[in-house]
């Protein structure tokens, strides 16, 4: 019963209501959008830039106009003759350079209509958000929502997703993508994706969780609710058991409180009953003497 209650709290979309384009591991600064991630561990895509897995990007002051291959990354796929409608949402794994736990990074993401070479692009939409590593050497899974789009692609035109580290960022950034444990992707929803579930922070506090830990759990639960709607991939979803545990713990706490309250009332009733019988017995004894 509790498990069913938890599932009801996380709205999901059916496969017919969304389409996903994953960021492929091939090529930089221009890569491919693919139907699904491949296997294995994520390598260091740019051995000449740093020692970490994934791809490192330097900050840019040019945004969408950036042409330096060390300051942007773009993935694209042929969309000749297609019409794209719905609510785009990008989920991307990233981290401040060197997994810095103090500095906050800022990513700007653009949806584009480009030629086959990744140039002559027209902007379809954009979104921006900040990212900070909170628990040491780890990647952060972030969600970027866009306004609704309705866009038709001409012959030999490609859908592009470009990531740029904004000049307001306190640090350069690293991107994780292309492999099952780092499923960075663009999803087009037929309806607006599930909103931010602010109540999770409150439930985490009620369960005795640190506020930052509760906030991170909220972030991951939002991502799972929107982007993993049709994917039961345990490797890609490290937090659902904790979310279920939190809600289950709260439900059990409520049931326990009700049970204790009922038992307390019953105990008081029994006490009054026994006390009343004893009183009558004492009064009867006195009257007979």
Does residue 256 lie in a domain region?
no
Buried b / exposed e across 243-258, counting CB within 10 Å, b at 16+? bbebbeeeeeeeeeee
Residue 78 domain-assigned (yes or no): yes
Residues linked to residue 55 through DSSP beta bridges, in sequence order: 175
pLDDT at 227: 42
Q: What is the average pLDDT across 236-242?
A: 43
Dmax of the chain from CA atoms?
A: 113
pTM of the model: 0.64
Beta-bridge mates of residue 125: 111
Per-residue model confidence as pLDDT tens digits over 106-137: 999 999 999 999 999 999 999 999 998 877 77
Please name every residue paired with 93 in a beta bridge, in sequence order, or none if there are none.
Answer: 141, 176
CATH of the domain at 25: 2.60.120.260
**Which residues span the domain enclosing 70?**
15-195
Coil vs helix vs strand at 162? strand
Domain tally, the chain:
1
Tell me, yes or no, whether 264 lies in a domain: no
Domain-embedded: residue 176:
yes
Indicate whether 144 belongs to any domain. Answer: yes
pLDDT value at 197 more than 70: no
CA angle 56, 59, 63 (to 5 degrees): 115
* pLDDT score of 165 more than 60: yes
Answer yes or no: are the C-beta atoms of 110 and 164 closer than 8 Å: yes
> Is there a domain that residue 27 lies in?
yes
Chain centroid offset of residue 32 CA: 23
Beta strands in 62-139 (DSSP E): 72-78, 83-96, 105-114, 122-131
Report CA-CA distances (Å) from 160 to 8, 170, 248, 269: 35, 26, 42, 72
Whether residue 172 is contained in a domain is answered as yes
Say if residue 168's pLDDT is above 90. yes
For 71, the 3-state DSSP assignment is coil
User: Each residue of 97-106: pLDDT tens digit?
Assistant: 999 999 999 9
Task: Report yes or no: 166 and 72 within 8 Å, Cβ to Cβ.
Answer: no
| Mean pLDDT across the chain | 74
Residue 52 within a domain: yes
Q: How far is CA 149 from the centre of its chain?
A: 22
Residue 144 CA to residue 15 CA, distance in Å, equals: 20
Per-residue pLDDT tens digits for 255-267: 666 556 555 554 4
């Amino acid at each position: 019963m509790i498990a069913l209650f938890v599932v009801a709290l996380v709205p999901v979309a059916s496969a017919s209501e969304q389409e996903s384009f994953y960021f492929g591991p091939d090529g930089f600064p221009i890569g491919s959008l693919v139907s699904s991630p491949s296997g294995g561990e994520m390598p260091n895509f740019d051995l000449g830039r740093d020692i970490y897995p994934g791809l490192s990007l330097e900050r840019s002051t040019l945004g969408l106009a950036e042409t330096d291959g060390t300051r942007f990354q773009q993935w694209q796929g042929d969309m000749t003759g297609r019409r794209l409608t719905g609510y785009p949402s990008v989920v991307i794994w990233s981290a401040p350079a060197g997994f810095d736990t103090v500095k906050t990074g800022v990513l700007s993401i653009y949806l584009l209509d480009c030629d086959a070479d990744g140039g002559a692009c027209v902007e379809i939409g954009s979104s921006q958000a900040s990212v900070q590593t909170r628990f040491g050497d780890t990647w952060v899974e972030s969600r970027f929502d866009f306004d609704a789009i309705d866009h038709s692609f001409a012959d030999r035109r490609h859908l592009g997703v470009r990531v740029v580290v904004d000049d307001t960022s306190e640090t350069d950034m690293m991107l994780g993508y292309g492999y099952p444990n780092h499923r960075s992707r663009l999803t087009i929803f037929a309806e607006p994706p599930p909103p931010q579930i602010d109540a999770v922070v409150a439930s985490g506090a009620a369960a005795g969780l640190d506020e930052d830990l509760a906030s991170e759990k909220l972030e991951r639960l939002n991502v799972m609710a929107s982007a993993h709607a049709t994917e039961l991939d345990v490797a890609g979803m490290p937090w659902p058991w904790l979310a279920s545990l939190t809600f289950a713990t709260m439900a059990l706490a409520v049931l326990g409180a009700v049970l204790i309250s009922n038992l307390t009332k019953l105990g008081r009733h029994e006490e009054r009953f026994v006390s009343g019988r004893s009183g009558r017995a004492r009064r009867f004894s006195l009257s007979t003497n």
